[in-house]
Amino acid sequence: MIDYQRDILSEILRKLKLTFKADVMKEIMAVMEIAKVRYRTIILKKEDACNHLFFLQKGLIRVYKFDEEGKQDIKDLICEGEFFTDEEALLSHKSSGCVIETIEPSVICAFRYDKLSALMQTSTDMCHLYNMLLQQILQRKLMQIDILSAKTVAERYNKMAREKSEIIRRTPMKNIASYLKIRQETLSRIRSQQ
């Protein structure tokens, strides 16, 4: 398990363009939890406290809320190699307003916020790691805003296809339609015209 954990941490650090000495790596591994989970596993329930920053090593995740009619409203789609959390719940220490669920069998690395925070009190390396994790999450959110701010539905889909081609390829159409804030029939029409 230690080697597997070290391999995933090495992948995370490559993604963040960070290098740490062995003793710092050991400290980070002490606050990491790795889980292999099945399809449709709930990672975070609505109303739960969000105490983790996550890295999706393998799989696919959707983040959703329920609208007034009780239908799922997809807020985010996450593919392997990306960091995620319920940012608002984590930073405000409020209950989560969303559900985070796998849509493929997945391998997830979780960093406990309280343990990471405690290490940040004594280690500038941990502060740097935390800042880089948040920066990656922010960059993903900015990409999402860019995709969803396109003027036409076709432009939204085309931006998503360019920026998140793996998600387009692997995610059920109903989830993509919800993410893009369009009806599934409209998405089918756009895809058939491509």
Q: Would residue 173 count as lying in a domain? A: yes
Q: Would residue 140 count as lying in a domain? A: no
Angle 84-52-80 (CA atoms, 0-180°, nearest 5)? 30
Q: Which residues of 53-68 are buried (b: 16+ CB within 10 A; e: fewer)?
A: bbbbbebbbbbbeeee
- Coil vs helix vs strand at 122: coil
pLDDT band at 3 (very low <50, low <70, confident <90, very high): confident
Q: Based on the domain organization, do 67 and 158 belong to the same domain?
A: no
Q: Based on the domain organization, do 108 and 168 belong to the same domain?
A: no
Report in angstroms the alpha-carbon separations of 36 from 56, 59, 108, 182, 193: 10, 10, 6, 32, 38
Token output for 190:
């756009």
User: Structural domain tally of the chain?
Assistant: 2
| pLDDT of amino acid 70 | 85
The percentage of the chain sitting over the pLDDT mark of 70, rounded to a whole number, equals 99
Q: Which of 88, 103, 135 is where one domain is finished?
A: 135
Domain containing 179 equals 150-194
| pLDDT of amino acid 84 | 94
pTM of the model: 0.91
